[in-house]
Chains A and B, each alone.
Chain A
Amino acid sequence: MWGKGILNGMRITMRNMLRGPITVKYPYEKIELPERARWAVTPTYNEDGMPKCTACMACIRACPDHILDLEVTTREDKSKHIEHYSYELGACMMCGLCVEACPFDAIEMGHDYELALTSPDELTIDLLADVDAASVKRARPAAEPKPEEPKPEEPKPEEPEEAAE
């Protein structure tokens, strides 16, 4: 008869009501993220606490929105000192292209999703400030477990063709 569909619909909503709510009570219970979840970019460190970053600028070229920036002073013995490694959290779309481009696994996408801040100028974060960059030779063997022939000097060849960007 005419109302059969409506009554069936009522039965379904009652059955769903008896199934009980499925909401996660957020501030008290937190969902644990899957292993590949991509949130804000965070630098990684060696065992001795020094950052793995060798200031090779690969990530800065890889970012589609140009939001990473590195100020580096090169001392005479070719080792580098990172003044600021600024990262605009507000503009980052967390696509993970910089992490894929980094040859030394020096940055990774963190799992911390509570990124709300109170004032807009806090949105530009210094990932690394005033710290010595890891030297390429020491980082290279550690970073490349595969027996690949290590590059003898600074990764210069990538430099010229990028300038046309």
Chain B
Amino acid sequence: MSRLPKGGLIDRSRSIPFSFDGATLTGHPGDTLASALLANDVRLVGRSFKYHRPRGILSAGSEEPNALVELGEGAARLPNTRATTQELFAGLVATSQNRWPSLKRDILAVNDLMAPFFGAGFYYKTFMWPKRFWESVYEPIIRRAAGLGRLSGLPDPDHYDKGFLHCDLLVIGAGPAGLMAALAAGRAGARVILADEAAQMGGRLLAERLELGGSAGHEWAAGVAAELASLPNVRLMPRTAVTGAYDHGAFGALERVADHLAAARGAPRQIFWRIQSRRAILAGGAIERPIAFANNDRPGIMLAGAVRRYINQYGAAPGARVAVFANSDEGARSVVDLQAAGVEVTALIDARPDAKAPDGVPHFAGALVTNTRGRLGLKSVTIRTASGGVETIAADCLAMSGGWNPNVHLTCHQNARPVWRDDIAAFVAPDGAVPGLVAAGAAAGAFSTHAALQTGLDAAKAALTDLGLKSGKTPLPKAEDAPCDLTPLWHVAGKGRAWLDFQNDVTVKDVKQAHAENFIPVEHLKRYTTLGMATDQGKLSNIAGLAIMAELTGRSIPEVGTTTYRPPYVPVQIAALGAHGEGQGFAPHRQTPSDALSRERGASWLEAGLWHRAAWYPQTGESFWRQSCEREVGWVRNAVGICDVTTLGKIDIQGPDAAAFLDFVYTNTMSTLKPNRVRYGLMLREDGTVMDDGTCARLGAAHFVITTTTAAAGPVMAHLEFVAQVLCPRLDVQMVSVTEQWAQFAIAGPKSRELLNGLLDAQVDNDSFPYMGCGPVSLGGVAARLFRISFSGEHAYELAVPARYGDSLARLLVARADALGGGLYGMEALNVLRIEKGHITHAEIDGRYSAFDISMPRMVAAGKDCIGKAMAARPGMVEPARPQLVGLKPAGVVKHLKAGAIMVEVDGAPVREQIKGHVTSACFSPTLGHPIALAYVAGGVARIGDTIRAVDLLGGVDTLCEIVALPFYDPEGGRLRG
């Protein structure tokens, strides 16, 4: 066991079981999966992407490229989970991935032998012959080999949530810098959010044996966290990674609420927060970088800072005999910590020739690691000493440190590039690149603990000043202030493959090949070799890659430049970003007033403009929707039908200039409409195309109510507001949407008046309510509105009552209609009725057709301007060859007519050049006893009586049709007026 006898911030009093690849192991609360695996002597945890090389744990953070496992089973299986950040819980089940049949014996490890042929971009140069083999042979093989973990293919069974937070100051990272900043701002009374992706606040203070103000670093951190927790104006957010820096102070953040628990018990596993901040401080620390040398990817080779974290925070030794390789004092620091923990250190290999030796360890100044041995786990390292000698050092773990890269990620999310600093041989955050965001601590290149505290405090003070708050006194605790003493070392020259990007298997050789092939710009280097495109997004590999390209091209590292930093900072589950999109959650439902009644009547549903509308109402004995639909059509044509039309947009328009306003937005004239009358109206977009149609009712001299189609209600309202506020600000007009205020029902059919008069408090007749009349009525004492309008072509009304009475009215109407031999009808019947009558819907006015095309040129009134009029007069909009709306009925053998069929001349061919139009709407007309359709036909109005074909190539139906005038039904309109 590699669990150290003492130390660490784990709870040794409790043991928790977990499993890895089927083996049951135990760990302690406070462990991550990675620390628990190390404590159980598990070294081999994964396989690399391309060569399937055996891999171990490299880091102790979210940048981990190797230790990715599948977590959980069945639908809950989560691929690519970083063992280094997954907290241990009882019953955790982890499985290694991207290997077959087992982690130890992985068949695809042969790829490693083929490596000479699998260099950078090899796939662009082959697999081209024979042509058809790509989809059938090569690609399936490549696809199966590629990829890391497996999705279950089943719906994600867990809960996720999203939320909004607001603060004066967002502090990202709770190491010494972030804690200090949050403390200063919290004490000053600012609304502070302190977020850290780790479970515990403290950052490196948890991983190092440092003292702050005389107490252990982690104790100081715990003390500050406790004070912050007590302040009502501070929100502490552990387990929360800030993922992206967006415009104007907006940040995305992922809180892992229950990922550390065996069961979430109704809580979301994760919450994706949108944080709106006035100021922000990035105190995200730094990420240690590996050194590239031959076979630097063996299990057991680990970042030195991670080794210290495993020892100091988790009491887990990554090895029994550890060698250390570094280019700074991080090496000596690691040796001291290892020794303090009682771990044998077999050598300190320090690349700096002048490095001072610590006590009690074989020391090699000016030496380099040139190779390593051990297939499934490190056995030894080979070094070249300062004098050129070669030595082999036994070690099952190598702690390596190539220096630290400030965690600049978030500061570069708005296209800025980081700035190079020679003194620390690293890129630091650029100033002002994200307005309102500044970096502090190691993220700003302030590498000592004192400097972290100081820069954190300074950043907080500056933010407080910006926020108009006074900073109080917040003294700095005393802390180490060691200078950064580092000699840059990116790779060790020599034979063998030296890894840069561990997961994507990009080696120094690949960079050299990219250079040879002239993929020299960094972005080409990245794309050609895939360097930095793995799950760590180059956090560990990019800078070394650039450094090597710099060497090859004789340029400096900043001249080579970095690739683009993009959100998210750490990968985020789609389930969290898209929380509540699943199931019914993607968009709100809208219910009509007759919803309950329709449910009782067994309606079949369809959706329009988020509304759920009844499509038809099946009755016993009906097995097919058309049977129900035709029965409902018959009711309307012969008796009376009731249909909920509440969904149509209704806009109340009032004001001295209301009529003038309507004249401008409608193609036709509304100012001449008499009170208590309704007129059909057409609106164009400014490009001359029909936007919507509806009715306009004049309720008073300066009072109108217009209707829109269901789907266009929102857009038309916005359009009218635009015209009123922006184009015609002088017009004195006001509008209010009353769609929801009024429940409205169509009462259609020859018995509609009979039905109505059985309900209204005062009778109506052809004089009080002629066709296209409207006015107030009362029923049961409730003030209502009655419109004599008809979409069906029958004598019909629409009756509106305040929505609370909608359900009651619907029931009443239906009961009366039932008694008169009619009843409820749905959208399908409505559609048949309107096609028979030649009325258009958005199937016809689909956004491409003009008033001319829908055969309503006279709807565009002369002598006044209106929206869209000028553009509708462009030559291309009026030429005779444009499609025009006509009716079709089968000529000869009665065949199916299908919407979407294309129109072709009788002797023509169904090829693009000969298409004359298409069918927009089609149905079987129960009234006429044969199929009918509406269609656009080039120059159609002049061709009434011609025959033409409607060809549905998809369904293989070719129907000879006669072009007929619209409407099909009651062309004289006698039934309307009846």
Q: Are A and B part of the same complex?
A: no
**B-contacting residues of A (Cβ < 8 Å)?**
none
